[in-house]
Amino acid sequence: MMADASQRKIRFSVAGTAHMQAVLSEHFARPVEPAEVGILAGKMGQLDPTTRGVLKSAWAEATVMPVDQVELGRMLEEARCEGVLLRKTTDRFRAGRSWLMGAPTLPLEIDWPSATLPGGATVTLDFVAQLDLGHVPSSGKLPAEGLLFFFVDLTSPLDDMYRAARVIHAASVPETCPIRVNESAPARSEAVSIRFQPMAGYNSGLFRNQAFEKAAMGLTAPISARFRETRDEVVYEHSGGLVSRVLGRKKVDIRQYLHTLFLGPDFGRWQDFDDADRVPLLTLDTEDRDDLNLPDHILHGWPLTFAIQERALSAHDFDVVTALLRE
């Protein structure tokens, strides 16, 4: 269930907030506190047309107000987000049992997840990721052991940005656990092995200020740019099922995309969504079409993010995860 939209709070610079306080105080003929400025901006669509017009005008003026270097530094520090980049790799030994798409090693005693849609139809969820928690850089946010399995509805038409989803934590999965295939939700592509790399990003939408947004986006651009990574892959000569000798190496191109943990499409909290209490868990960059073969007519290349309430993440309660598409 979506939280009340009043939870959303839009933030401005110190000067911008003061300007909006003055304009709104005059409009309402009463003092407006800084906290109320953010709340009113967060629920602009619920306001009467006259108040909405006043707020829009004050917002536009507040956005272009200058900030000094001290305030800019403070804003950037608050906007910094720590997370993990999921990088595709051909080295399966380094990846452990972590991959995108393909099929999971979901233990047989765990039911393959399904969901009942608002119209009453029941759908079998698609498997999209499996994370070996023993390989994820420690942050204290996830369990230290086991596997996380991510499932989402990839079949329903895009009527809403919220998608049916399920995340399952299996605390102990034997190394010998076989790949599990579900005929109702067949694999859309071959499994793509991934390795984990700590990374930091900057949430350029945290404050509504042009100077801040420009600085945050400048710091984020080198991270978010698509690039090609060339890796060496060992070429073996096989004989009778046994490796007899190494023939050499070949270059393999791997196009990397922004598949991340804890960062989300904007490197930060969900201040632009109705449920402001949720934080990003796993985000898949659905523009990665060639390797993941995700349905473009449903996802439209939008980032697909599994989001969770902070208190549930702290309790490792993954039953309350939802999935969102962000344009």
3-state class (DSSP) for residue 128: strand
Q: Are strands 122-124 and 80-88 parallel, antiparallel or unpaired?
A: unpaired
Q: What is the pLDDT of residue 66?
A: 95
DSSP assignments along 204-260, one per residue: TTSS--HHHHHHHHHHHHHHHS-EEEEEEEEEEEEETTEEEEEEEEEEEEEEE--EE
Q: pTM of the predicted model, to two decimals?
A: 0.79
Tokens at 131, concatenated: 């994370």
DSSP state of 165: E
Cα 71 from Cα 189, distance rounded (Å): 47
Q: What is the pLDDT of residue 243?
A: 54
Domains of the chain (ranges; CATH) run 5-64 (no CATH), 76-325 (2.30.320.10)
Where residue 184 falls (left for φ over 0; alpha for ψ -120 to 50; beta otherwise) is alpha
Residues ≥6 apart with Cβ < 8 Å to 184: 112, 124
Q: What is the pLDDT of residue 146?
A: 93
Contacts 24+ apart (CB under 8 A), 323-327: 323/152, 323/153, 323/162, 323/163, 323/164, 323/165, 324/161, 324/162, 324/163, 324/270, 324/273, 325/158, 325/161, 325/163, 325/299, 325/300, 326/161, 326/264, 326/265, 326/266, 326/302, 327/161, 327/300, 327/302
Cα 75 from Cα 230, distance rounded (Å): 36
Cα 214 from Cα 191, distance rounded (Å): 38
Cα 172 from Cα 188, distance rounded (Å): 26
Are the C-beta atoms of 305 and 152 separated by less than 8 Å? no
Q: How far is CA 312 from CA 48, 80, 173, 268, 277, in A?
A: 36, 23, 23, 18, 10
Q: What is the pLDDT of residue 193?
A: 92
| CA dihedral (223, 228, 232, 236) positive or negative | positive
Mean pLDDT by 10 residues, the chain (327 residues): 50 96 96 92 89 95 96 94 87 78 94 88 94 88 94 79 90 89 91 90 88 88 63 66 65 78 72 65 89 85 88 93 82
| CA dihedral (297, 302, 306, 308) positive or negative | negative
Q: φ and ψ at 322, to 5 degrees?
A: -120, 165
- Which residue(s) pair with 69 in the sheet? none
CA 98 to chain centre: 17
Q: What angle do CA 49, 55, 61 make, to 5 degrees?
A: 140
Q: Are strands 126-132 and 147-152 parallel, antiparallel or unpaired?
A: antiparallel
